[in-house]
Amino acid sequence: MAKWLIILMPVYLLIPDMIIAQAMDNSVSYRNIQGNRYFRINYENDFFTASDRDYTQGILIEKVHPAFGRFPLMKILWHPRHSDTKYGLAIEHNAYTPNQIDRFSIQYGDRPYAGVLLFKTFLIGIDYERKQRFSVSFNTGLIGPGAGGEQMQRTIHHWIQYTQPEGWHNQIRNDLVLNYQINGEKEIYRYQNNFTLTAFGSFRFGTLSDKLTSGFTVTLGNFTSSFSAPILIKRHFQGYLYGQILGNAVGYDATLQGGFFSHSSVYTITDSEMSRLTFQNKFGIVLIFQSLYVEYYRTGITEEFKTSLYHRTGGLQIGFGF
């Protein structure tokens, strides 16, 4: 593993941090956990990168189990044909703030406060013969004060003895979230169990976010490809680095523009101020010890609207297979 770190680290230093972190997605191939029964927790916070603004914090708790295939909302998900399918449920909570959280008044030209709480129904379908992978999800939930963004941030800041936010009364107002997303990945090239190049595409639409995404992912290290059929004897240890470069065409973002149904928010970003094209990458390291999954990654994002700033964050994941 050390030689791969030495080889790839200069590449990471040359790639600018341009990553979007507005929704955590554990269904992608470089976050694969073998088997169809596992539990995983993901925590993101810009505290890892010594900042506290924009996308400031996210928590995702997921469970994958074959019994979830009978969950009622699974029926509205597209089921890829000729695929080995995993079924999962998750809860996700995200919080967004402007740059100066110690100010009481609205910070015009900066991001509005917003909290989002989601219940996610998802499946992952892998076609081993064609070396392709699809994930489909349907998110239901709430954006606004009812999502508890203020309470969550105040609690975390109390634990770490950091500045308490003063402007949450200006946050995006309550509205319903209904969002559907389809991801597709295709393994383009693989060298043994040490290197893969994968194409990625995604289509997201609904009341929270409308976006088209495409790009490529590189994985380097010692691992079992998530596009290969499961083997009877699993590797006791896997360790690898991944890097991803993506482009997004953004249609709508409720965390910036306000709810789809409710238009009573005191401050939002207007359509003319939105950045409709963003570019991003992600870099992370994954260690898998038998059934234990550990990941640390760094993210960032280019300007989402005309007066916004470049932003970085970091994340930590821990998962357990059964």
Q: What is the 3-state secondary structure (H, E, C) of the chain?
A: CHHHHHHHHHHHHHCCCCCCCCCCCCCCHHHCCCCCCEEEEEEEEHHHHCCCCEEEEEEEEEEECHHHHHCHHHHHCCCCCCCEEEEEEEEEEEEEECCCCCCCCCCCCCCCCEEEEEEEEEEEEEECCCCEEEEEEEEEEEECHHHCHHHHHHHHHHHCCCCCCCCHHHCCCCEEEEEEEEEEEEEEEEECCCEEEEEEEEEEEECCEEEEEEEEEEEEEECCCCCCCCCCCCCCEEEEEEEEEEEEEEEEEHHHHCCCCCCCCCCCCCHHHECCEEEEEEEEEEEEECCEEEEEEEEEECCCECCCCCEEEEEEEEEEEC
Q: What is the pLDDT of residue 209?
A: 95
Q: What is the pLDDT of residue 86?
A: 96
174: confidence class by pLDDT, cuts 50, 70, 90: very high
Domain ranges of the chain: 2-321
107: confidence class by pLDDT, cuts 50, 70, 90: very high
pLDDT digits (tens, 9 = 90+) for 119-162: 999 999 999 999 999 999 999 999 999 999 999 888 888 887 88
315: confidence class by pLDDT, cuts 50, 70, 90: confident
Could you confirm whether domain 2-321 is CATH 2.40.128.140? yes
Q: Does residue 316 carry a pLDDT above 60?
A: yes
Q: What is the pLDDT of residue 299?
A: 79
pLDDT digits (tens, 9 = 90+) for 239-295: 999 999 989 999 999 999 999 999 999 999 999 999 999 888 889 999 998 788 999
Give the pTM. 0.86
